[in-house]
Amino acid sequence: MKHTNTYSLQCPIPKSDYEHVLLAHGGGGKLTQDLIDRMFVPLLGNEILDQGHDGALLPPMKETLAMTTDSFVVDPIFFPGGDIGDLAVNGTVNDLLCCGAEPLYISLAFILEEGFLLEDLWKIVQSVAHSAKTAGVKIVTGDTKVVERGKGDKIYINTTGVGRVLDGMDISPKRCKPGDVVIINGSLGDHGIAILTTRQGLELESQVKSDTAALSEMMLDVFSHVPEIHVLRDPTRGGVASALNEIAKSSGTGIKLEENLLPVSGSVRGACELMGLDPLYIANEGKILLIVAPEHAENTLSVMKKYPSGMDSRIIGEVSDEHPGILHLETSIGTSRIVDMISGEQLPRIC
């Protein structure tokens, strides 16, 4: 699995120096510099980060740029299949892909809680480095702040990404057309259920792993082979239901899902039944929704299925001119129901 060896390097700051994050690590002085020099630069360094400016200088880009930001406050910070570090990189990478962009540069800002274990920070830095490399992005600038004990929770991370929109890409909910098909690259709810079962100490027959993954390689291949993609969206917080609701609302078209076609693993289904949750609303962190004209569906699926993150890609629904602005689910017993946007907070701090 992807996490073998991710945490294999020995912490470069020995416990005899510091075991925990101190307020002074965020003070902008010697200890901040020590963190940067011993922990961040060796693993994250590249020709841009190494400029050592307050800001990074990036080469000119003649294409339209995409820019996106996300803060990650997931609890717990380590979970089956990943941690807050790769989540922070992958989340922003996937948001850039959803703009039709090639992800290029990422900024990395830590808010650390005083007393946080430096060994855990080191694990997370390794994970950030590993996932940035996998996704083909460079960490170009960063920031570290420390707050007092009880004013944070171990570590929060903000990543902001910049990418270049590929020629000819024009991704927008407004491009949804009746007849378009809705594609997803695999099963629903793995990330949310991995977090929730870990948090609650719930033992399932088989452990659910987060699907956290950067989809760059697969999606860049799709971009180069599929001439026209109408909409892209990663169904994170609020899950597939919220993402498709937003698209239906802003496009003014209806979207119809078929329950029979929704890929949900047995473990996720079981956990959802146990906890009274609906997999359609559970967060995913390595999934993407594509809306394309029906004539491009087969081609799209054949490209996606070449990749580990896309092996289980499939059509799960279609855009229609009935019920504009509304998401419908055709159930397995032949009835139809409206799937509304999530109203409360099903799963706080899921990402």
Q: Where in 167-196 is the site for a copy of itself (CB under 8 A)?
A: 171-172
Among 4, 10, 16, 59, binds a copy of itself (CB under 8 A): 59
Q: In Å, how far are 98, 194, 279 from 242, measured between CA atoms?
A: 16, 19, 12
Pairing of strands 229-233, 155-165: unpaired
Please, which residues have CB within 8 angstroms of residue 339's CB and are 6 or more apart in sequence?
241, 244, 245, 257, 280, 327, 328, 329
- The binding track of 224-263 with respect to a copy of itself, each residue x by CB under 8 A or -, is ---------xx-xxx---x-------x-------------
Residue 298 vs 340, nearer CB to a copy of itself: 340
Among 84, 89, 162, 304, binds a copy of itself (CB under 8 A): 162
Asked if 113 contacts 157 with a C-beta cutoff of 8 angstroms, the reply is no
Pairing of strands 138-147, 181-184: unpaired
* Site for a copy of itself contains 337 (CB under 8 A): no
Distance between CA atoms of 307 and 221, rounded to whole angstroms? Answer: 10
Among 77, 111, 193, 288, binds a copy of itself (CB under 8 A): 111
* Site for a copy of itself contains 198 (CB under 8 A): no
Among 81, 82, 85, 142, binds a copy of itself (CB under 8 A): 142
Which stretch, 76-84, 137-145, 254-262, 297-305, contacts a copy of itself (CB under 8 A)?
Answer: 137-145
Size of the site for a copy of itself (CB under 8 A): 80
Burial of 274 (0-12, 13-18, 19+ CB in 10 A): exposed
* Site for a copy of itself contains 33 (CB under 8 A): yes
* Site for a copy of itself contains 294 (CB under 8 A): no
Distance between CA atoms of 262 and 330, rounded to whole angstroms? Answer: 11
Please, which residues have CB within 8 angstroms of residue 170's CB and are 6 or more apart in sequence?
100
Among 19, 119, 143, 278, binds a copy of itself (CB under 8 A): 143
Residue 47 vs 205, nearer CB to a copy of itself: 47
Residue 117 vs 147, nearer CB to a copy of itself: 147
In angstroms, how far is the first alpha carbon of the chain from the final one? 21
Among 6, 90, 107, 253, binds a copy of itself (CB under 8 A): 107
* Site for a copy of itself contains 300 (CB under 8 A): no
CB of 156 to a copy of itself, least distance (A): 6
* Site for a copy of itself contains 55 (CB under 8 A): yes
Evaluate the omega torsion of the peptide bond into residue 173 and state whether it is cis, within 30 degrees of 0: no
Listed residue (217, 230, 213) closest to 102, CA to CA: 217
